[in-house]
Amino acid sequence: MAEGAAEALLAEAQSIAEHHLLELAARLRREVSGQLGEALQYALGTSGKRIRPALVLASYRAAGGQAAAIARLAVAVEVIHTYSLVHDDLPCMDDDARRRGRPTTHVTFDVATATRVGYLLVPVAVEVLCEAADELRLPGSIRQAVARTLLAASGIRGMVGGQWLDLDAEGRALEAAELTAIHARKTGALIEAACVVGGLAAGASPVLLAGLAGFGREIGLAFQVADDVLDATATTAQLGKTAGRDASLGKSTYVRFLGVDRARAEAIRLADAAVRSLDQAGIVDPALPSLARYIVNRQS
């Protein structure tokens, strides 16, 4: 595993994503008048770690892709993620006042505006995805597979369904299998999709796609376990969002099941399983294993 591969990739993903997102935000501000346009620009203008775009880039390259136009596909995934954060913070969801070190969209504007921002970002993501497919000159069958993968992961069978189940579970003690099923959809589905669409765009074989999907599935759960640990141990300043929200909302978490130390060990176990998926598929690339270690060892 090359030291610093994750840091270099994340720096690249941050640079790419923030350039394209700011460009997109400025365009939407021109096209959408009034407070709604301002709120769209605000939501897209929030900085972040850009792990999902980094996974798209790394998976694409691990499968042999070389075109610079993959950047726009990575941005489409990040727009979906941005929509999910705007809605996740709403009072009817996790009711959080801070995200990525600044007030959330509904606090800066209002609940109705933030709700509309989230809904509007879904077709915006599809538009960006179509632009990416054109730039990459993807065949029709691959375009369909990329769109199907990303939209299924972000919809009722993935992220939206997981959020629904997560809300329904507040205040209830869950079995470990129930908790894993929720987070495989709420958090893991979009992370897995980021890996798969990168492979699809590169024309990966079924074996390589299975390896990338397995990596994404395991690392998606590892990401959530690490998040649970951070929510219980880090400060609001470190996280850029309100620390301790899981406990205050009565959520079942991996920390609640396992304790901090065993949860950390579980995150590492999942990261190891993710890397084994790559090995079994014959994927030799330093960036993805390095990203797996970053995800479970991060401090925010």
Q: Tell me: pLDDT of 30 over 90.
A: yes
Three-state SS string over the chain comes to: CCCCHHHHHHHHHHHHHHHHHHHHHHHHHHHCCHHHHHHHHHHHCCCCCCHHHHHHHHHHHHCCCCCCCHHHHHHHHHHHHHHHHHHHCCCCCCCCCEECCEECHHHHCCHHHHHHHHHHHHHHHHHHHHHHHHHHCCCHHHHHHHHHHHHHHHCCCCHHHHHHHHHHCCCCCCCHHHHHHHHHHHCHHHHHHHHHHHHHHCCCCHHHHHHHHHHHHHHHHHHHHHHHHHHHHCCHHHHCCCCCHHHHCCCCCHHHHHCHHHHHHHHHHHHHHHHHHHHHCCCCCCHHHHHHHHHHHCCC
Q: Which residue has the higher pLDDT, 167 or 188?
A: 188
pLDDT band at 1; cut points 50, 70, 90: very low
Per-residue pLDDT, 231: 84
Split at pLDDT 50, 70, 90, the class of 247 is: low
Query: According to the per-residue pLDDT averaged within each range, which of 15-19, 89-93, 160-164 is highest?
Result: 15-19
pLDDT interval class at 253 (50, 70, 90): confident
Question: Tell me, what's the pLDDT at 243?
Answer: 66
Span of 86-100, 154-168, 234-248 with lowest mean pLDDT: 234-248
